């Protein structure tokens, strides 16, 4: 839909050559009270350009702009030109757009022909998928959906942490104390126990560390026993990860994790060598980043083994060659800021002009209420438990309200998981926050269940009405303030998605669905829908269906379902 702001900017642009369309649009404000109009254009900037009083300019502009189409009235108020939008045209445009585009409402082809990679989640094999991973997982998934909705050719990569010296330790621990059956019954907690025990015992027996290094070298050299064990740790861990991904309804296009690049690193190392970037330092090889005020990038250790950073370099080069990306996004916690700054710089120093297309999308930490989560100490909150508890609690609530509720399990899953996801997405990324069971399991206030409930409320009205919703209605009946507020929010859907995309901030979309739910609930409260008057009923039902569809589309972008009953 042509936003009203766009229509107003276009009108103004015809009269003002001195400012660009973007500049005009950026100046437009919402007046403090509705009687003053729907939008206002301040003339103070023009006053400087023309050396003329703002109210004179505003007067002239108001005089010369014709009220037609989307605009019903133009007036001067002091140094401002104020616009009143044509409410029935607003209603007609919005409702026609939503009801004809349906699931596509909000989508665009803005990114056509551009390749975007979104790397997210990337948990570590044999380590818990804990509450700290939820942010990368749900933020990344939402960012993927947002790009995809605007026509970008988007690829999801899960850069699994399935390689590194810790696998040497795990092999040693498993060979000493492990039991295949016990691990298979509960893979990650058991592997974690082994890992913790390794660290405890290695304190007294440092030679265990050497043994672990030796096993990792065997793994790097393709030794059969080492590879089989590693493969088994990976398979068992993935089973657990997949349970969480199933609950969240998240899929990936590629699971190429760190191990995938193990045979691609020699090439990177020789590229660095050819470009004269590699220097020896105490047996290790590094790229000096001193001129950029950063610690050196460690490429190989003194025993020749490669590092996390080496694998990131290899992965970026591989992805550029394979996907020819226009943008490669890494959704990874802000603790890794320096790591990304360092290796992005190395890519730039290697002369790859696409270094500018790498983007680290960071986010704040999740702390636990008491103490921190540390895999070494084994104090963790498993993400699967959080989701399951949210589902159980939702089911209790549903059955308490209606003991015969149908599909209680399915609805509880959609709402319980939705509550957790929405909470994660409703803060701006960068903020740290403290995980609290109470807050996560509370559905009051500005929560996912509140938005889903508003959707279910729309469905209930539509079910009760039992009549076809049509665009052939009297739009004059949707011009009161409550209706216009709902319609204005719906009209801004695409703009919110694009803003979320530009900033990689899904919370702009959570804000949008909350605003829509609030505007609709106000409308619902004060405007009875299933009234006798056929014309009025039809008009209001069209508004209900437009709201319902837009909420559904919005929640989908966040990775959430919209149950029809709650």
Least separation in angstroms between CB 133 and ligand ARG:
7
Question: Catalytic site residues?
Answer: 127, 130, 133
Which spans of this chain sit near ligand ARG (rule: CB under 6 A)? 119, 122-124, 159, 161, 312, 330, 332
Q: What is the DSSP string of 431-447?
A: --EEE-HHHHT---SS-
Least separation in angstroms between CB 161 and ligand ARG:
3
CB closer to ligand ARG, 198 vs 330: 330
Which token pair is 505? 């901030």
Q: Which residue in the shown chain puts its C-beta closest to ligand ARG? A: 161
CB closer to ligand ARG, 332 vs 508: 332
User: What kind and span of H or E run contains 407?
Assistant: none
Q: What are the C-alpha distances in Å from 115 to residues 106, 326, 353? A: 20, 5, 16
> According to DSSP H, which parts of 275-401 are helical?
308-323, 337-349, 383-401
Least separation in angstroms between CB 187 and ligand ARG:
17
Least separation in angstroms between CB 483 and ligand ARG:
47
Q: What are the C-alpha distances in Å from 306 to residues 258, 261, 264, 359? A: 11, 11, 11, 23
CB closer to ligand ARG, 76 vs 124: 124
Q: Is the dihedral of CA 207, 211, 216, 221 positive or negative?
A: positive
Provide CB contacts within 8 A for 204, sequence distance 6+.
Answer: none
Cα–Cα dist 76/139, whole Å = 45
Between β-strands 358-361 and 327-331, what pairing exists: parallel, antiparallel or unpaired?
A: parallel
**Total residue count of the chain as it appears in this document:** 566
CB closer to ligand ARG, 312 vs 505: 312
Cα–Cα dist 7/303, whole Å = 66
Which token pair is 425? 């997405």
User: What kind and span of H or E run contains 381?
Assistant: none
User: What kind and span of H or E run contains 4?
Assistant: helix 4-15
Instruction: Give pairs for 281-290: CB < 8 Å, separation 24+.
Output: 287/346, 287/349, 289/342, 289/345, 289/346
Least separation in angstroms between CB 121 and ligand ARG:
9
Sheet containing strand 115-119, strands side by side: 153-157, 115-119, 327-331, 358-361
Least separation in angstroms between CB 360 and ligand ARG:
9
Least separation in angstroms between CB 116 and ligand ARG:
16
Cα–Cα dist 225/211, whole Å = 15
Between β-strands 297-300 and 284-287, what pairing exists: parallel, antiparallel or unpaired?
A: antiparallel
Cβ–Cβ < 8 Å for 254, 156: yes
Q: Is the dihedral of CA 419, 138, 184, 377 positive or negative?
A: negative
Least separation in angstroms between CB 212 and ligand ARG:
19
Q: What are the C-alpha distances in Å from 541 to residues 461, 474, 491, 529, 533? A: 8, 12, 17, 7, 12
Cβ–Cβ < 8 Å for 263, 311: no
Tell me how far the alpha carbon of residue 536 is from its chain's centroid. 39
Least separation in angstroms between CB 486 and ligand ARG:
41
Least separation in angstroms between CB 176 and ligand ARG:
26
């Amino acid at each position: 839909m042509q936003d009203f702001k766009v229509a107003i900017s276009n009108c103004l642009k015809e009269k003002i050559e001195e400012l660009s369309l973007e500049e005009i649009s950026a100046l437009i404000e919402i007046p403090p009270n509705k009687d003053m109009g729907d939008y206002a254009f301040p003339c103070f900037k023009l006053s400087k350009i023309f050396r003329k009083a703002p109210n004179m300019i505003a007067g002239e502009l108001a005089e010369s702009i014709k009220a037609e189409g989307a605009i019903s009235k133009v007036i001067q108020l002091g140094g401002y030109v104020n616009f009143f939008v044509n409410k029935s045209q607003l209603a007609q445009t919005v409702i026609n757009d939503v009801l004809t585009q349906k699931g596509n409402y909000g989508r665009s082809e803005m990114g056509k022909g551009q390749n975007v990679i979104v790397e997210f989640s990337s948990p570590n094999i044999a380590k818990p998928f804990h509450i700290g991973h939820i942010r990368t997982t749900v933020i990344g998934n939402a960012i993927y959906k947002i790009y995809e909705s605007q026509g970008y050719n988007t690829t999801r990569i899960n850069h699994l942490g399935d390689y590194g010296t810790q696998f040497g330790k795990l092999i040693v621990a498993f060979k000493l104390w492990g039991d295949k059956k016990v691990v298979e019954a509960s893979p990650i907690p058991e592997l974690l126990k082994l890992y913790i025990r390794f660290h405890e015992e290695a304190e007294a027996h440092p030679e265990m560390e050497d043994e672990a290094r030796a096993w990792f070298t065997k793994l790097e050299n393709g030794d059969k026993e080492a590879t089989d064990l590693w493969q088994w740790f990976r398979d068992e861990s993935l089973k657990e990860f997949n349970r969480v991904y199933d609950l969240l309804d998240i899929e990936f296009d590629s699971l190429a994790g760190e191990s995938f690049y193990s045979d691609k690193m020699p090439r990177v190392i020789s590229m660095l060598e050819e470009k004269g970037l590699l220097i020896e330092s105490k047996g290790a090889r590094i790229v000096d980043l001193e001129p950029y005020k950063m610690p050196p990038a460690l490429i190989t250790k003194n025993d020749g083994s490669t590092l996390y950073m080496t694998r990131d370099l290899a992965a970026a080069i591989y992805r550029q060659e394979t996907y020819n990306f226009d943008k490669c996004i890494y959704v990874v916690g802000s603790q890794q800021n320096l790591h990304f700054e360092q290796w992005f710089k190395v890519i730039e120093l290697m002369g790859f002009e696409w270094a500018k297309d790498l983007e680290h999308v960071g986010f704040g930490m999740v702390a636990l209420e008491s103490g921190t989560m540390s895999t070494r100490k084994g104090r963790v909150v498993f993400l699967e438990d959080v989701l399951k508890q949210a589902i159980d609690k939702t089911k209790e609530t549903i059955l308490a309200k209606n003991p015969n509720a149908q599909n209680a399990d399915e609805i509880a899953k959609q709402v319980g998981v939705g509550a957790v996801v929405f909470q994660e997405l409703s803060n701006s990324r960068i903020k740290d926050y403290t995980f609290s069971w109470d807050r996560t399991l509370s559905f009051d206030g500005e929560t996912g269940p509140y938005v889903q409930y508003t959707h279910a409320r729309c469905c209930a009205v539509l079910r009760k009405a039992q009549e076809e919703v049509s665009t052939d209605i009297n739009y004059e009946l949707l011009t009161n303030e409550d209706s216009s507020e709902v319609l204005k929010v719906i009209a801004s859907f695409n703009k919110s998605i694009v803003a979320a995309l530009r900033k990689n901030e899904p919370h702009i979309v959570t804000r949008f669905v909350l605003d829509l739910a609030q505007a609709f609930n106000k409308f619902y409260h004060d405007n009875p829908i299933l009234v006798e008057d056929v014309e009025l009923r039809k008009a209001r039902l069209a508004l209900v269906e437009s709201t319902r569809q837009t909420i559904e589309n919005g929640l989908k972008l966040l990775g959430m379902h919209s149950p029809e009953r709650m």
